[in-house]
Structure 1
Amino acid sequence: MELGLKGKIAVITGGSKGIGLATALLLAEEGAEVAIVAREEGSLRSAAALIKERTGKEALAISADVSRPEDAARAVEQTAAHFGGVNILVNNAGVSAAQPFEKVETDAWTADLDLKLLGAVHFARAVLPYMRQAGGGAIVNVTAIGGKTPGASSLPTSVSRAAGLALTKAMSKDLAVDQIRVNAVCIGLIRSAQIERMWQAASPELSWDEFSADKRHGIPLGRIGRASEAANVIGFLVSEAASFVTGTSVNIDGGISAVL
């Protein structure tokens, strides 16, 4: 299938590792220009080098704090100045923050919402003029299945992710007139540095394949997912192949979620 991504310009937050990096690699392989945004300059340099090695593309690496609107505006302006515009935004920045309700302090609520919800808002607002100028665009907000079915001790992350889903639907309604599509993906267990730490802490005697397939995870497809599998869905949603898809969410969870 031709995705129609050649020559498109993408901004990917949280783009130096995990799903963000896998998405940057996929888009670059499909011919897009990519700007990766993260806070750690060392990780950004390593990610840009990997993208160059695997795809031949020079990624633009931008150090920024997505929770700061001025950083979002700067990152988008740098991207547009370097590549000539912005067609795609993947709001992927975020970290897991999961505790029981009574243990979550006010500062933790604020920090999580600033990062996961307002970070997406800041970047979306910054890309709108460029997408309108281009005649349209595509935004994907990366959330989690806990935003649909919050579990015990899942705060504040599950609330921030639920807000991200509401943001996605509302934005899709407002921006459709400009041919800007807005969708979300809801992530389940996907291999990452955090999941690998969980593996080493809980079951260091197991190989990765054994840990991934452990029935205690409760994943119907029988294993933990790969970052590239999440990137494939994101790549579809931002592509011309999904030109009539907006305002929806896709679970990338191996079937573990109880809801559509």
Structure 2
Amino acid sequence: MDLKLMGKVAVVTGSSKGIGKETAAVLTEEGARVILVARHKEGLEQAVQDIEETTGQTLDFVVADVTSETDAKRVITSVIEKYGKLDILINNAGSAFAENFENVSLDDWQNDLNLKLFGWIHMIQAALPELKKNGGAILNLTAVAGKTPPANTSPTSVSRAAGLALTNTLSKDLAPFNIRVNAVCIGLIRSGQIEKRWQAEAPEQSWDDYARDPKFNIPLGRIGDTREAANVITFLVSDAASYVTGTAVNIDGGSAPAL
């Protein structure tokens, strides 16, 4: 299938590692011009080097903190100055701070919302003037906990639920401009955090054995890979998904109890 991404310009936040980095790689393989965004220059430089070595294509990066409205505007300005347009915005920057409600301070709440909700808002507000010119796609990465929050997951599940609401309402507000807005809800996907858990819990096991442990209760029987998540994300921002907007797709091996 031709995803029709050749020549598209895409910004991916939180892309120095994990799903963000893998998504940048897949977009690049499909012909998009990708700009990586994260807070730390060293991580971005390594990510760009890795992707360029595997794809043979050139990428750019911008060091920025999406919790800053000024930084968000600077990212989009630099992209437009160099490429003259913006087609795709992928909001991946985030973290997972989960605790019992009584143990969460007001600063914890503010920090989480600043990153996972207002970080999206800053980037979307900065990108909208460009996206409205020719249409495009916005993709927000969140977690299945945003749909079905378990106990002891404040503030992360609350900010993720707010992000899902933002995604849905934006899809309606921006549809007249041919801007599609979707989300993906991530379940257990191999990441640095999951690998640390593996080493702490079962260092004697191989990754494949650990990933297939029945304790994870994943219907497909294993923890997912970052490439599997990146492939879905790439499809959703491509023209192959031109009639898909306002939805939140679970990437969780079937484990979420909600649609």
Is this a same-fold pair by TM over 0.5?
yes
How far apart, CA to CA, are the structure 1 residues paired with 2:80 and 2:57?
17
How far apart, CA to CA, are the structure 2 residues paired with 1:237 and 1:81?
26
How far apart, CA to CA, are the structure 2 residues paired with 1:186 and 1:33?
25
Q: C-alpha displacement at 1:20, in angstroms?
A: 0.3
Counterpart amino acid of residue 17 in structure 2: K
| 1:56 aligns to 2:56 (yes or no) | yes
Counterpart amino acid of residue 92 in structure 2: N
| 1:232 aligns to 2:202 (yes or no) | no
Report the counterpart of residue 164 of structure 1 in structure 2: 163
Report how many aligned residue pairs link the two structures.
259
Report the counterpart of residue 243 of structure 1 in structure 2: 242
| 1:89 aligns to 2:89 (yes or no) | yes
Report the counterpart of residue 148 of structure 1 in structure 2: 147
Q: C-alpha displacement at 1:79, in angstroms?
A: 1.3
- Please give the residue correspondences for 1:184-199 in structure 2 after superposition, counting only pairs within 5 Å: 184-199=183-198
Q: C-alpha displacement at 1:60, in angstroms?
A: 1.0
Report the counterpart of residue 70 of structure 1 in structure 2: 70
- 1:224-255 deviation line (CA, Å, top 9, x unaligned): 00011011110010000000100001000000
- Please give the residue correspondences for 1:1-260 in structure 2 after superposition, counting only pairs within 5 Å: 1-133=1-133, 135-260=134-259
* Contact map agreement 1:72 1:126 (CA 8 A) in 2: yes
Q: C-alpha displacement at 1:83, in angstroms?
A: 1.6
Q: C-alpha displacement at 1:169, in angstroms?
A: 0.3
- 1:4-23 deviation line (CA, Å, top 9, x unaligned): 00000000000111000010
- 1:96-119 deviation line (CA, Å, top 9, x unaligned): 111111111110000000000000
Q: C-alpha displacement at 1:36, in angstroms?
A: 0.5
Q: C-alpha displacement at 1:207, in angstroms?
A: 1.1
How far apart, CA to CA, are the structure 1 residues paired with 2:180 and 2:29?
22
Q: C-alpha displacement at 1:50, in angstroms?
A: 1.1
- 1:58-92 deviation line (CA, Å, top 9, x unaligned): 11111111100000000111111122211000000
Equivalent pairs: percent with the same residue? 56
How far apart, CA to CA, are the structure 2 residues paired with 1:221 and 1:100?
30
How far apart, CA to CA, are the structure 1 residues paired with 2:17 and 2:84?
25
Counterpart amino acid of residue 46 in structure 1: Q
* Contact map agreement 1:14 1:93 (CA 8 A) in 2: yes
How far apart, CA to CA, are the structure 2 residues paired with 1:143 and 1:227?
14
Q: C-alpha displacement at 1:139, in angstroms?
A: 0.3
Q: C-alpha displacement at 1:132, in angstroms?
A: 1.4
Q: C-alpha displacement at 1:155, in angstroms?
A: 1.1
Counterpart amino acid of residue 8 in structure 1: K
SS in 2 for 1:245: coil
Pick which of 237-246 and 79-88 moved more: 79-88
Counterpart amino acid of residue 72 in structure 1: A
SS in 1 for 2:76: helix
Using the size of structure 2 for normalisation, the TM-score is 0.99
Q: Which runs of no fewer than 5 residues in structure 1 stay unpaired?
A: none
SS in 2 for 1:138: strand
How far apart, CA to CA, are the structure 2 residues paired with 1:157 and 1:132?
31
Counterpart amino acid of residue 192 in structure 2: A
The CA RMSD measured in Å over matched residues stands at 0.7
How far apart, CA to CA, are the structure 2 residues paired with 1:29 and 1:47?
14
Q: C-alpha displacement at 1:54, in angstroms?
A: 1.2
- 1:26-57 deviation line (CA, Å, top 9, x unaligned): 00000000000001111000001111111122
How far apart, CA to CA, are the structure 2 residues paired with 1:65 and 1:107?
18
SS in 2 for 1:10: strand
How far apart, CA to CA, are the structure 2 residues paired with 1:53 and 1:83?
22
